[in-house]
A and B are shown apart, each in its own frame.
Chain A
Amino acid sequence: GENVEQHPSTLSVQEGDSAVIKCTYSDSASNYFPWYKQELGKRPQLIIDIRSNVGEKKDQRIAVTLNKTAKHFSLHITETQPEDSAVYFCAASNNYGQNFVFGPGTRLSVLP
């Protein structure tokens, strides 16, 4: 079955700097890759996603890139703000929305 790895497990950046979180997946049949943000005590929130027919997607300060050949995808956050501090989870899914497998998470701390 699918296996998703995520690095780093923790990340601290200064406010205004960029943050990059990387995930790798094992199943070449995976075709949908969402990213979730989970603040302490709250539900995971979908922040951006990408499908396998697209190499990059951007939404304001957040972008995701996908390299299907290498089976990895990354989350890029620019101009980080303290409110970006949270745990971020990547996931991979095949069959467009079934069989989601989540990465172990990255705890991002943005220092003022």
Chain B
Amino acid sequence: SAVISQKPSRDICQRGTSLTIQCQVDSQVTMMFWYRQQPGQSLTLIATANQGSEATYESGFVIDKFPISRPNLTFSTLTVSNMSPEDSSIYLCSVGPEKLFFGSGTQLSVL
């Protein structure tokens, strides 16, 4: 399976600021996704990162709040904008298709 690196691994941020999370894969992958895992909860899909075009967002997630870039087949970023304490979660990138593999995750705490 692909090696999926995420950074930062954790961060503590102030309310109203933004954080950009990077996801790097060691091989080209056709599908990349971003998930959120709130404390003690399951995994919720934020969006599918499309190479060369706008991301496809799931219900309840919008581009202004979670802008995503995917400039090539090995890299993507997720920005959490104008953060509030409710954004405190683990954010995970993942790759497909078929079998879904996850990156190491970014634990975000918003004060």
Q: Which residues of A contact B (CB under 8 A)?
A: 32, 34, 43-46, 49, 89, 91, 93, 96-98, 100, 102-105
Is residue B104 contacting chain A, with contact meaning CB distance below 8 A? yes
Contact-residue size bin, chain B (C-beta under 8 Å from the other chain): 20 to 34
B59 → chain A closest CB, angstroms: 9
Report B's interface with A, CB cutoff 8 A.
Answer: 1, 31, 33, 41-45, 48, 92, 96-105
State the majority secondary structure of interface residues on B.
Answer: loop
* A49 touches which of B1, B99, B102, B103 (Cβ 8 Å): B99
| Alpha-carbon distance between A97 and B100 when the two chains are bound, in angstroms | 7
The 3 closest A-B pairs by CB, nearest first: A97-B98, A97-B97, A43-B102
Knowing A43-B102, A44-B102, A46-B100, the reply to whether A98 touches B31 (Cβ < 8 A) is: yes
- Most chain B CB inside 10 Å of its own CB: which residue of A44, A96, A97: A44
Q: Is A102 in contact with B101, judged by CB distance below 8 angstroms?
A: no
Are A104 and B42 interface neighbours, CB within 8 A?
A: yes
Question: Is A98 touching B92 in the complex (CB atoms < 8 A)?
Answer: no
What are the residues of chain A within 8 A of B99 when measuring CB–CB? 34, 46, 49, 97
Q: In the complex, which of the residues A34, A89, A96, A97 contacts B42, with contact meaning CB atoms closer than 8 Å?
A: A89
**Given known contacts A89-B43, A102-B43, A103-B42, A97 and B101 CB-to-CB distance under 8 angstroms:** no
Q: In the bound complex, what is the Cα–Cα distance between A46 and B4 (angstroms)?
A: 14
A91 contacts across to B, CB distance below 8 A = 100
Query: What is the minimal beta-carbon distance from B25 to any residue of chain A, in angstroms?
Result: 14
